[in-house]
Structure 1
Amino acid sequence: MTKVLLVEDDATIRVAVVRALGQRGHAVATAPDALTGLQLAVSERPEIVLLDLGLPDLDGREALRMLRAVSAVPVIVVTAAGAESDMVRALDAGADDYIVKPFGADQLDARIRAVLRRLGSETAAGPIVVGGLVVDARARQASVDGRRLELTPREFDLLHYLAQRPDQVVSKADLLTHVWQIPYARADKTVDVHLSWLRRKLGETALEPRYLHTVRRVGVRLSAPEALGTSPEQGTAA
């Protein structure tokens, strides 16, 4: 049985989701507004949160940022806003997935299971170590040469995804699909900007990279500094 917290101001939707997920073996607590949801997220320790963005007391993205400051609980944003820009902003704020209303109960149940399965597999193996870089998915913390990195949720997700694939070149399309959860999206500046911010926090630059190396026209590779040599493929970073 999965403990689910639903933060949703529409009473009709709350009743329908509680009934549907209850029939599928989940235990669902509900909150009609953001502040109540934040309190329950801390006191009840749910395994996953379903968060509406259109809440009466606080913007859902702000509520998500506040939740991320105190908890690493997985969050699926549930909203009527289906534009790609809305999706990107919610995922950048720390959501693990995004589902647009109206949706079927089976689809929601599948999303819950997929997020928990993915995060469970990521945390089971313990921290990832690449040179002086340590990425701990369970604690959602990372450090380099013993210095803790102050990362946004999306920066952490990006770093963790790359650290799981050391010395592999990962395309921007793959990053949009697996980190931003935007399938079939064309590569855009979203990835470039986040890589630039991440490099700055790692203490490197595009011209003098240590961990993050761009392979021109292909993607980006994370490698331990001592494992790297000069390569003609290596291009300027985004």
Structure 2
Amino acid sequence: MRYLIAETNWTMMTLAAELAANGTLMTRTDRPEDVEHFMRHGEADLLVLAADQIANRGMSLAALRRISPDMPIALVADKPQSEQIAAWLDAGADCVIDATRPPEEAVVTLQAVARRRLGLSRPQIVHGPLRIDLLTRKAYMLTCPLKLSPKLYELLEYLALRPGQLVTRAELLSHIYGLENEPDARVFDVYICNLRSCLQASAGAVDIDTVRGSGFRFAASDVAAAVAA
């Protein structure tokens, strides 16, 4: 998953460093005025913002919601009062994190908010013999760990979170490369070929289809059976 995070104070910079150490993909900016631009043009599963940006920089939760209605918003505040938390949640925030709490607690909270937006109550994606652990960022086939580079893991995670859905190369570029140092979109043809080799042990239970001229689609027999039923 990818987070859009505004590093506008030391607390946010520390949190970003903790997320980076965990392997989380991030679009990072130290300019609050760029947040709306990234929301419009980038691919992110969660916006992480210091609460004082709402109060002191003229940002509006309602305006952010209009730009990206489905993107969860997490606010980070120093010892927030209960009435502040209630007001922010009522205005459109999905969670409020106390900046004085341990950073590892914030990381787990953010992971939960981001994955629940995608319909996951637990930090795992399971399709037949394939299991992806979102916390450890590892994938397993029939209990055996798959040897995936970080880019291949991100690609598999992104597709497996959207079974049966067409995913374009542009969406993959935005998510995995974050609009920075983007390679030629055809690099995903190589990545997909490598992933298919890793999924062969599933005996067709999971696969990745190429939709010519459009993109890719994660195919899982359990999803197909559920749709047919």
Question: Larger helix proportion, structure 1 or 2?
Answer: 2
Q: Structure 2-normalised TM-score?
A: 0.49
Q: Structure 1-normalised TM-score?
A: 0.48
